[in-house]
Each structure stands twice: as structure tokens, then as C-alpha cells.
């Protein structure tokens, strides 16, 4: 091994006679890997998976062995989709021996979670765990884990998303509120409004300062926040209207530290919203709010009164209001945004835009804040009705990383450039209308080569344009296809054409060069569709299929998992959604014969 190592060093020196790496400008010397400091190696290890670190360095020499066995060196573990054999090796050689050094656990495979925490009491050995992230976990299992998390002395960050409906969310809330050092919590629990209300806090309070939750009902909000006196930032992804008739009987709550609130309102009218602001959020400095339909949300006079008398510290106000309209009520809505151009808004530098776009069934509009635009997602609409208190110069919008494109006209009329977009969603109207190269249209509004995710809502006729576009976006790693028009009379023609398209040189070029690893297909079409995309994406690792058509499930599995299918040799996970009980039996029977597959 020493001979091999010395040979590599000599090769390195020879290859760098003209290009030398100088680490110290004060002295004329050159360095090898072994000359780097321990501190620098620790920094390098931070960028690598700990499994790969041990595989690469543990047996190099005694110095690296000592570095990796240093009990003060924290270990961060992130496991998503992993083969059964590799996980067992990982668990045996990394996780179990070094449980007491693990500071971060990021797990998204439910089977890995169950195997890792078996028995559940093993959690008590993770005494340095600071950050726990569990995705796709069943609520029943999460409840068992929560009981043991209370004993972890360093856990300050918890991120959890459950896959099933939760019958009683209060049980989870109480357990989370008891975590004595928790500062950050991001929680995704899905369920209906609680039949038994969460009681108001009296003696039990949580140290949480940042809370992101996917779902709450208005009548749950007051009791929920009573447990969080230290809360500084609150984000509610879906705040639902209370199913109860009245929400007006509440104890006063003082939230002195709360400065940042983000709310996505679902059927909560402006009167209910005002009540929440006046009784809970009157001290905040930053407000993000997303709403739909209730036109009171774009009544400038109501907002002005609420801000003047109940939000005296507000310095960032960001609103996005969506609504549908028809010819009879369009004028009623259209006149409301005009009133946001008074001195009140101008002196605070709060400016707004009003966009209109058309779908197959309805007409829609969006009223939103600008200057700067702070949202991460932006819908590119067909036309802009009003730029309220804003000049018409083309501007760069840096916050947006996801752009949704409705129509060709929306791209042509776009007055903005989005330099940080990494994901685009294309709708059927846009693809159907576009006759010219999509790449030529897009490069005027965002840089193509930094895209990593493409989402398409269209029908089978989009395939040729999609292939052409993929030539110019080489770093796409995620492709989502939702095929519409399930009763398409030209279905047979398009499926036949998909076979012809695969003989095209452009298809072959894209197949050889693309790096698509994650594919989701929502469709009811036949086996040819899956074959088309598998042939297009030979580096595929994760496949999700929804809405099976008429072909047999066994045939589908045989095609994907056949050892002779070179295009699926990198596949490590398959998710099949919306299947029947019989289909599940077929899947289990097929997989039981496999040695390296988890089934869930």
C-alpha cells in the first residue's frame, strides 16, 4: 500500500510541474495531502458523508485513524434512499459504534427509521444528538420516539413530517412542548379539526423560538401559542377557518418576543384575521400573508386602519392574494388595488402589482407585494394589469427559485429577470402555444444552466418539446410529469409517436447526457410511457408512479427490476401510489424474492 501511495504522490508532483499549489506565500514550498492540518481535514469531512469518510480515510494510516476515532469529533448522518445491504453495513460500522458522537440525524426512509431505532430505547444512547430530522414517518411510531426524546439533553432542533392522518395532535404537541432545550421545530401533522381542544398552558411552557407548522385551525391557535412564550418566528403553512361558530372567547396572551409571522390563510375571512392580529400579533415587525377569494383582503382602507392602530412596529408587509373572477364581478375587484397607491404606502416603500391570467376554465388574478419581491415562488401570468407605485423598468428578482409559467404571452411580456431560479413549472397552455424553441424564450428571463427541477402539466403531445428543452438544461436532476386529458382521443397516436421519438438523435443525445435521478409520473397511460421515460433517464435513482393504467403490475415490476435492464441499474427506490390491496400483494410477492430491497 505504501508503494501505491508513493507512486500517487510522484504522479501528483509530475502532473504539477507547470501548475503548482502554493499554501504559504512566505516560503517557496509545495505541499501534499498529508501536510494539511487536522483542522482543515475536519472541515473537509464536514462536506462529505461520514460513511464515505471512513471508507476513504480510516485505513490510510494511523494519523487518519486517530482523527476519525477522536471522541470529540461530531458525526452527522443523513440517510434517504439506501439499499438494504448498504444500510446494514452503515449501521453496523458507523451508527452503532459511534452513537454517542452523533449530533445530526436526517432520515427520510421509514424502514431505515424503524430498523435504526429498534428497539426504540436505543435512542437514549444518542446523548449528543442536537438535530433530528424525520421524514415520511408514521404518526404512531413518531409518538413512541417522542417519549424518549425527552431524555436527550442536547436536542435543540426537531423536524418531522408524518405520512398518515393524526387523530389526536394534542398528544404530539404536549410531548414536543416538554422538550427542555428545543429551540427550533418544524412539524407536519395532517388531520381534521380536534374534537377535544388543546387546553391553555398554565405551568408548562416550551423554550421553542422558531416554529413552522403545516396545519392549524383558528380555534387551536390561541391555546397552541400559550405554550410558546419565547416564540420569535412563527410560520403556519395552512391556517384553516374554525369549524366552530365562535372563536371570540379567549384568554389574553402576551408574546413579547414574537416579531416575524407568516400565514397562509385557508377560508379565513378578513374579520377573523383582524381579530387574530389584534389579540396575538400586534407587536410583530414582519408579516407575510397569503390569502384567497375574500376581497376584503385587498381593501386598502381596512389594511391602513389595521396597521395604524394595531401594528405600530410593522416594517415588512408582504401580501399575496389570489382570486377568480368573471365578467359580472371583474370591475368590482379591479378597482380595489388602485387604492394602494396613496402616501401611506409610498412612504413605507410598500409597493404592489396586480396580475391576471387565464386557465382553461376560469379567469384568475393575483395581487402581491413587490420592491423587493420576497417570495420564493412566482407565477408568470399572461398580462400585468397594474404596476402600483412602481416603474416599468425591467428588474432582477433575486428571491424567486421556483417559476410557474402559464402562457407564452406571459414570457413575452415579462418585465423581470429571475437570476436564482432553479425550478420551473410549465402548464399546458404554454407548451401548446409555443411553436419556437423553449430555450430561446426562457433565457431572456432566467439562466437555463442552473435549473435542477422541471415540472410539466400537459399531455403526450409535449414530449418532443420537452426533449428539445432538456438539451439546454443539463443539470436537471428532478423531473415531474403530470399528464392531463386522460380521455385524449389521440392517445394511441402519441404513444406510437413516443417510440418513434426514441429513435431521434436528439433523444439519444439527451439520454446520454442528462443527469435526471428523480422522476415522478402522474398518468393513466400504458407501459410504453414508463419505458419511454426509463430510456430517457438511464441514471434514474428514484421513481414515483401514480394512477396506474390498464397494464399489469407484475409486468411493470419485471421491466423495472430486471437485471438485464441497464437503464434501471441505478434505481434504488420505487414508490407506487394509489394501488389496490391486490396490487400490494403482487408487489410484496415480487419483492420477497429479492435480497436487497426494502418494502413498505
Q: Is the separation of the CB atoms in 283 and 257 below 8 Å?
A: no
Is the per-residue pLDDT at 554 higher than 50?
yes
For the chain, what is the radius of gyration of the CA atoms? 28
Least confident of 188-202, 205-219, 236-250, 286-300: 236-250
Averaged pLDDT for residues 202-231: 94
Whether residue 266 contacts residue 239, with contact meaning beta carbons closer than 8 Å, is answered with yes
H or E stretch at 450: none
| pLDDT value at residue 19 | 36
Most confident of 91-105, 118-132, 173-187, 570-584: 173-187
Least confident of 54-58, 157-161, 198-202, 495-499: 495-499
Q: Give residues with Cβ within 8 angstroms of 359, minimum separation 6.
A: 406, 429
User: How far apart (Å, rounded) are the C-alpha atoms in residues 89 and 103?
Assistant: 20
| Residue of 572, 577, 599, 569 lying closest to 587 (CA atoms) | 599
Single pTM value for the model: 0.81
pLDDT of residue 269: 94
Q: Is the pLDDT of residue 72 over 90?
A: no
Would you place residue 30 in the very low, low, confident or very high pLDDT band (cuts 50, 70, 90)? very low
Of residues 320 and 594, the one with the higher pLDDT is 320
Ramachandran sector of residue 293 (left: φ over 0; alpha: ψ -120 to 50; beta: rest): left
Average pLDDT score, the chain:
82
How confident is residue 131, by pLDDT bands cut at 50, 70 and 90? very high
The pLDDT of residue 246: 56
pLDDT, residue 549, reads 52
pLDDT of residue 270: 95
Per CATH, the number for 393-600 is 3.80.10
> 108-122, 431-445, 513-527, 543-557: lowest mean pLDDT where?
543-557
What is the per-residue pLDDT for 4? 33
What pLDDT score does 10 carry?
38
DSSP type of residue 242: P
pLDDT given for residue 558 in this prediction: 81
Domain boundaries, the chain: 393-600
Q: What is the pLDDT of residues 277-318, one digit of tens each?
A: 999 999 999 999 999 989 899 999 999 999 999 999 999 999
Alpha-carbon distance 254 to 176, whole Å?
21
Q: Any bridge partners for residue 215, and if so which?
A: none
More confident: 189 or 21: 189
- What confidence tens digit (pLDDT) does each residue in 225-281 have? 999 999 999 999 999 998 776 555 666 688 999 999 999 999 999 999 999 999 999
Above 90 in pLDDT, residue 519?
yes
Is the pLDDT reported for residue 381 higher than 80? no
Q: Is the CB of residue 327 less than 8 Å from the CB of residue 341?
A: no
Give the pLDDT score at 576. Answer: 81
Q: Record the cell numbers describing residue 589, joined without a space.
A: 410477492
Question: What percent of the chain has pLDDT above 90?
Answer: 40
Q: Average pLDDT in the 105-116 region?
A: 86
Q: Which range has the top average pLDDT, 67-76, 199-208, 461-470?
A: 199-208
Pairing of strands 416-417, 453-458: unpaired
Nearest alpha-carbon partner for 405 in 431, 379, 384? 379
Contact 324, 363 (CB under 8 A): yes
pLDDT score, position 357:
73
Flag whether pLDDT at 456 surpasses 80: yes
Residues 21-29, mean pLDDT to the nearest whole number: 43
Amino acid at each position: 500500500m505504501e508503494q501505491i501511495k508513493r507512486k500517487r504522490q510522484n504522479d501528483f508532483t509530475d502532473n504539477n510541474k507547470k501548475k503548482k499549489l502554493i499554501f504559504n506565500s512566505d516560503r517557496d514550498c509545495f505541499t501534499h495531502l498529508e501536510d494539511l492540518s487536522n483542522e482543515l481535514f475536519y472541515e473537509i469531512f464536514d462536506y462529505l458523508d461520514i460513511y464515505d469518510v471512513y471508507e476513504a480515510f480510516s485505513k490510510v494510516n494511523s494519523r487518519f485513524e486517530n482523527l476519525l476515532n477522536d471522541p470529540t469529533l461530531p458525526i452527522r448522518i443523513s440517510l434517504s434512499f439506501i439499499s438494504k445491504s448498504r444500510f446494514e453495513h452503515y449501521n453496523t460500522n458507523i451508527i452503532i459504534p459511534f452513537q454517542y458522537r452523533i449530533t445530526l440525524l436526517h432520515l427520510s426512509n421509514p424502514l431505515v427509521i424503524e430498523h435504526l431505532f429498534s428497539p426504540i430505547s436505543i435512542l437514549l444512547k444518542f446523548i449528543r444528538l442536537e438535530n433530528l430530522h424525520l421524514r415520511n414517518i408514521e404518526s404512531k411510531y413518531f409518538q413512541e420516539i417522542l417519549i424518549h426524546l425527552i431524555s436527550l439533553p442536547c436536542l435543540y432542533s426537531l423536524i418531522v413530517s408524518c405520512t398518515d392522518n393524526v387523530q389526536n395532535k394534542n398528544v404530539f404537541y404536549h410531548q414536543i412542548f416538554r422538550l427542555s432545550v428545543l429551540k427550533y421545530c418544524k412539524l407536519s401533522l395532517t388531520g381534521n379539526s380536534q374534537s377535544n381542544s388543546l387546553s391553555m398552558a398554565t405551568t408548562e411552557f416550551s423554550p421553542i423560538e422558531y416554529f413552522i407548522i403545516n396545519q392549524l385551525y383558528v380555534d387551536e391557535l390561541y391555546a397552541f401559542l400559550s405554550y410558546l412564550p419565547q416564540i420569535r418566528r412563527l410560520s403556519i403553512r395552512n391556517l384553516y377557518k374554525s369549524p366552530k361558530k365562535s372563536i371570540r372567547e379567549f384568554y389574553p396572551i402576551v408574546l413579547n418576543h414574537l416579531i416575524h409571522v407568516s400565514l397562509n390563510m385557508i377560508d379565513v375571512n378578513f374579520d377573523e384575521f383582524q381579530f387574530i392580529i389584534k389579540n396575538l400579533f400586534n407587536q410583530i415587525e414582519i408579516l407575510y400573508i397569503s390569502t384567497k377569494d375574500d376581497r376584503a383582503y385587498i381593501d386598502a382602507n381596512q389594511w391602513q386602519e389595521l396597521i395604524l392602530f394595531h401594528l405600530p412596529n410593522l416594517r415588512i408587509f408582504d401580501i399575496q392574494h389570489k382570486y377568480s373572477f368573471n365578467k359580472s364581478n371583474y370591475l368590482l375587484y379591479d378597482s380595489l388595488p388602485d387604492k394602494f397607491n396613496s402616501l401611506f404606502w409610498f412612504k413605507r416603500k410598500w409597493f404592489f402589482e396586480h396580475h391576471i391570467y387565464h386557465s382553461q376554465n376560469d379567469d384568475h388574478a393575483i395581487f402581491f407585494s413587490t420592491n423587493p419581491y420576497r417570495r420564493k415562488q412566482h407565477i408568470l401570468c399572461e398580462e400585468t394589469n397594474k404596476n402600483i407605485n412602481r416603474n416599468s423598468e425591467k428588474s432582477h428578482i433575486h428571491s424567486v427559485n421556483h417559476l410557474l409559467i402559464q402562457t407564452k404571452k406571459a414570457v413575452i411580456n415579462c418585465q423581470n429577470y429571475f437570476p436564482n431560479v432553479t425550478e420551473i413549472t410549465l402548464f399546458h397552455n404554454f407548451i401548446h402555444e409555443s411553436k419556437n424553441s423553449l430555450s430561446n424564450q426562457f433565457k431572456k428571463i432566467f439562466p437555463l444552466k442552473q435549473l435542477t427541477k422541471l415540472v410539466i402539466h400537459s399531455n403526450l403531445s409535449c414530449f418532443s418539446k420537452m426533449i428539445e428543452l432538456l438539451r439546454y438544461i443539463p443539470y436537471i436532476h428532478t423531473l415531474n410529469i403530470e399528464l392531463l386529458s386522460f380521455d385524449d382521443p389521440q392517445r394511441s397516436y402519441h404513444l406510437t409517436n413516443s417510440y418513434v421519438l426514441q429513435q431521434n438523435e436528439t433523444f439519444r443525445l439527451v439520454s446520454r447526457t442528462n443527469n435526471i435521478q428523480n422522476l415522478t409520473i402522474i398518468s393513466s397511460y400504458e407501459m410504453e410511457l414508463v419505458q419511454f421515460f426509463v430510456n430517457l433517464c438511464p441514471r434514474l435513482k428514484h421513481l414515483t408512479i401514480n394512477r396506474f393504467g390498464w397494464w399489469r403490475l407484475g409486468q411493470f415490476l419485471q421491466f423495472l427490476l430486471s437485471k438485464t435492464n441497464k437503464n434501471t441499474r441505478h434505481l434504488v427506490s420505487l414508490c407506487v401510489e394509489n394501488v389496490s390491496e391486490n396490487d400490494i400483494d403482487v408487489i410484496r410477492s415480487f419483492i420477497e424474492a429479492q435480497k436487497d430491497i426494502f418494502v413498505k
